[in-house]
Structure 1
Amino acid sequence: MSNQPTTPPWWQGGVPNGRQRGRLRVQLDRIVDGLQSAPQNVARNVVIEEARTGEDVDYLYRGGAVLVRDGDVDRVLEIIRETAGDGAAVEEPVGGPPQRGVATIALPAGADTNAVLAALHAQGVDASKDVVLHICPSASACPATEPVLAQAGPVPAVADWSPQATDRKVSVAVIDTDYHRSVVQQHSWLRKVTGDAGGPKAHGHYRGHGTFVGGVVATMAPEADVRVWPALLTSGGQLASDLGPILDAVLETRPDIISLSAGTTLAPGEDPARELLSLRVFREHLAKTDTLLVCAAGNDAQDERFYPAGLPHPEIVGVGALDPDDRTPAGYSNFGNWVDVWARGTDVVNGYPNGRYEYADIDPDTPGDQPGSVEFTNWLASWSGTSFATPLVAGLVAARMAWSHEKPRDAWAALHQIAVANAVDGRPVLKRGDSDRPPV
């Protein structure tokens, strides 16, 4: 059995289209069910709502809650009392302190989230919805396909590496779903990939995504220290208010690079300078460090920005996906001048947990999306999406840093020059080998 191409047809014939909407509905339901059934969210009566433009879902968010700057809490509670009645309260996240600089306000029963936000914005308060960040849909799906059987791997192959005693140690943090030590133990290229076992809802539909992403980093930077932080439910998403504290914890470990294969869109006309408070505050802290954030551009087959990849800051790199020829943009990938670099994301092969996988009944014409199931038996899968182009770029930056001794953003700047020189139809391209040590 060979590694089968997993190029899905759902993006063809106009975006969005019927197939795309059907695929989106299945994955939205999966994310919502996973979030609302998580024990910590049941205890808080979390209800996930959909922001819509017509019949299309723009993004998911938590109803009955808003995020504000923590210095504005007293003022915010007063405004809410005047506009929505009594009962608003500061909410502590489960398992630890809130994100630095951000407070979650649970609204009075029956209060309209959008009306409260409008009242806060009218008073000049920096406030936003508690959005869901996800590895799955916004207008389509991320990853672009479901995992399928692969015979051999990894693909791309492990990069050439000539370690020397003077090489710098480089650390990469992967913020994703679960970590599977059982997978790491099966493949030599994963020997430096670590993490906390399991993760939230470790047996959800996207189990193994975090380990797979960590493996892609390791193929490009075999000597880098790669740590997988289970931060997203394996049903596909996480509330910004619960992800924010994990982002803080990751940043406190001072990684050189963070790889994040998740994000969200906004509705047409919504301004990221007003929305997405949790991501904006994290970016403010990130800017004070040397850490580089490399993140997925999303799989919506459109030029609408996917955040945080779409935030225009030098410490953030947005990655689009290419097909296996390292030239052709994958049909599922988002695009536009906000995408900083392109790398292979289609038919990527890496470590994946063994066991039965149930395919969703999404589109019977799409390989990997047919109803039914498959038994993974060789600790490998083939998968496609900007989720997997992202760690490839993160790994290339890490590999260059090891021999160049550059800081993360300087190494990225040097690689970006190479990507521009490799550009295809104006798209900067990075590929395996672009971080190789120059010959002496």
Structure 2
Amino acid sequence: MAPQRFHEQFDQIQRSMPDVPLALGPDDAAEFIYEKGVVLARDEDAGLVEDNVRTHFTAATGLSADQIRRAGPETNRSGITRIQVGDPSHGDMNADRAVAHALRALREPEGRAGHRMISRNHVVSIAVNSCPGDEPVPAPLTQGTNPAPAEGGHTADSAVGVLVIDNGLTHDHAAVPLLAHVRGDVHETETDGRGNLLQYIGHGTFIAGLVAAVAPNTDVTVRSTLNDAGAILESEFGERLFDAVDRDGWPDVISLSAGTSNGRTDGLLGVAAFMEELRQQRTLLVAAAGNNASATPFWPAAYASLPEYQDVVLSVGALRGDGEFGACFSNHGPWVNAYAPGERLTSALTGFDAPVPYEYQHSTYDACRYGFSYVCTCQAPRHTGVLSENGTSAKPDQVMFEGFAHWSGTSFATPVVAGMVAAHMTAHKETDPRAARKQLLEANSEFAEVRGTHVPALRPATWRPVPVVQRAVPVVQRSARA
């Protein structure tokens, strides 16, 4: 059975949000996930949106006039209101006519060109890709991490503060020497009823290990802003980002390995207030470009392309194992600032309490999902997943993790670059992370090829290339014409 990666991820995310009806979008293609029957509006526009839907579109929404109402808190720090515009039980996961109708109808208000009225309530996630490159593979402890730990130690009074916005830490992470100074939130539940590690558990631990390896003189804090499936609604995301910086203070660097596309070029309505506050701080946001193999802007990373955020955000794509070309799954485009190794990196997944089993959720493909000729994470290592083979007699593959893992994704290229910014700050006694961003990119003389374009490549000195195997392409014999 051929894997249907995006639909499998949709099912996984839906299980993590059992009380939130979700749909795939836009209506004619599966590019993002959003909440059915609901739109987002700025607080100051909420009344106008309600009145317009109630007056003009009641028949199309499937609701009576009094059912069209605000579905969330009256106000919050993000300045966003959820408004119910349709019956979420109507239709299936492939469409929401009421939301689409409201989006078409409520565009820029008269006399306010460029003012965005409403948005879908997107799911922000670490899990949006059609290639099964985000499931880990066991790695022997004797092999060490890749990138290997850089020279230098941790000095509390000069350490660079790095806040990782993710899904938390494994309970035994401190057993890994590399993570001795890492603090933060621990997963509430790590295994299922049979003792198998849940998908994406260890994602935040793995990221913390990469930051600490590239930049030993860092104080890394991991916050479980996302749920254990690595997802959150856009309406909640901005508020949770505010919560994280309120709790820990604005750090030097934020490493964020999550996002969503939305078909727009002006960002996410749900994080607009946070991004505006970020502009007023000195913090640098290093954000993953996403794993859709697409040039469509992926937010918040794509804020790096907006003039007012060019010094505030550093967007990161992934290079394949040899570091010479883009990974098959990596998003790309002019909104991506730089690329870093992001395929088959090695870091800590758990501590050393005991080996823990893991059952693969997604099957590999027979060939690269995107038509690349090298043997990519779509194909190898080969495994059979429970979601891909659901309803068949195929038995999913199970492995044991004893601490370290190989893992792939722009999720992991991102903390590599966050670590490089932090290491630059330490080496050059630079206290301004945004200045360090500029200096790092200007001093870089290395490039890679991504989709026929030469792009800046940031490769840590301690990173070891992973040999790339080219898939044999059959030669078709053609007879010469007479």
Corresponding position of 1:296? 288
Deviation of 1:389 after TM superposition, in Å, equals 0.3
Corresponding position of 2:70? 90
Alignment identity in percent? 33
Q: Which amino acid aligns with 1:380?
A: F
Structure number with greater Rg is 2
Q: State the Cα deviation string for residues 5-38 of structure 1 (Å, max 9, x = none).
A: xxxxxxxxxxxxx96x622222222122222x2x
Corresponding position of 2:460? 432
Deviation of 1:199 after TM superposition, in Å, equals 4.9
Corresponding position of 2:326? 329
Q: State the Cα deviation string for residues 367-417 of structure 1 (Å, max 9, x = none).
A: 254232434342111101111000000111112223422311100101111
Q: State the Cα deviation string for residues 303-352 of structure 1 (Å, max 9, x = none).
A: 22222212213211111111333323222212222210111111111111
Question: Are positions 1:208 and 2:188 aligned together?
Answer: no
SS in 2 for 1:214: helix
Corresponding position of 1:370? 384
The 1:133–1:202 alpha-carbon spacing in structure 2 relative to 1, beyond 3 Å, is farther
Deviation of 1:162 after TM superposition, in Å, equals 5.6
Corresponding position of 1:243? 237
The 1:261–1:332 alpha-carbon spacing in structure 2 relative to 1, beyond 3 Å, is same
> Which of the residues 216, 222, 230 maps onto 2:216?
222
Distance 2:54 2:320 in 1: 53
Distance 2:167 2:13 in 1: 13
Question: Are positions 1:176 and 2:158 aligned together?
Answer: no
Unaligned runs of 5+ in 1: 1-17, 436-440
SS in 1 for 2:280: coil
Q: Which amino acid aligns with 2:15?
A: D
The 1:66–1:215 alpha-carbon spacing in structure 2 relative to 1, beyond 3 Å, is same
Distance 2:461 2:102 in 1: 52
Q: State the Cα deviation string for residues 162-221 of structure 1 (Å, max 9, x = none).
A: 6678x6332111111131130x22211111211112158876421111111111111112
The root-mean-square deviation of aligned C-alpha atoms, in Å, is: 2.7
Corresponding position of 2:43? 70
Distance 1:377 1:169 in 2: 31
Distance 2:432 2:265 in 1: 28
Q: Which amino acid aligns with 1:397?
A: V
User: Contact conserved, 2:135 with 2:360, CA < 8 A, in 1?
Assistant: yes
User: Contact conserved, 2:78 with 2:271, CA < 8 A, in 1?
Assistant: no
User: Contact conserved, 1:291 with 1:409, CA < 8 A, in 2?
Assistant: yes
TM-score of the superposed pair, with normalisation by structure 2: 0.76
How do 1:32-431 and structure 2 match up within 5 A? 32-35=14-17, 37=18, 42=19, 46-52=20-26, 54=28, 56-83=29-56, 84=58, 85-92=65-72, 98-107=76-85, 109=87, 112-123=98-109, 126-138=117-129, 140-141=130-131, 144-152=133-141, 153-161=144-152, 168-182=158-172, 184-199=173-188, 204-252=198-246, 253-266=249-262, 270-273=263-266, 276-311=268-303, 312=305, 313-314=309-310, 315-353=312-350, 354-363=355-364, 365=366, 366=379, 367=381, 369-371=383-385, 372-403=396-427, 404-419=429-444, 421-425=445-449, 426-431=454-459
Aligned residues: 397
Unaligned runs of 5+ in 2: 59-64, 89-96, 110-114, 193-197, 367-378, 386-395, 464-482
The 1:237–1:381 alpha-carbon spacing in structure 2 relative to 1, beyond 3 Å, is same
> Which of the residues 5, 9, 16 maps onto 1:27?
9
TM-score of the superposed pair, with normalisation by structure 1: 0.82
Distance 2:457 2:116 in 1: 41
User: Contact conserved, 2:70 with 2:81, CA < 8 A, in 1?
Assistant: yes
Q: State the Cα deviation string for residues 80-103 of structure 1 (Å, max 9, x = none).
A: 32233223333446xx98342222
Deviation of 1:423 after TM superposition, in Å, equals 2.0
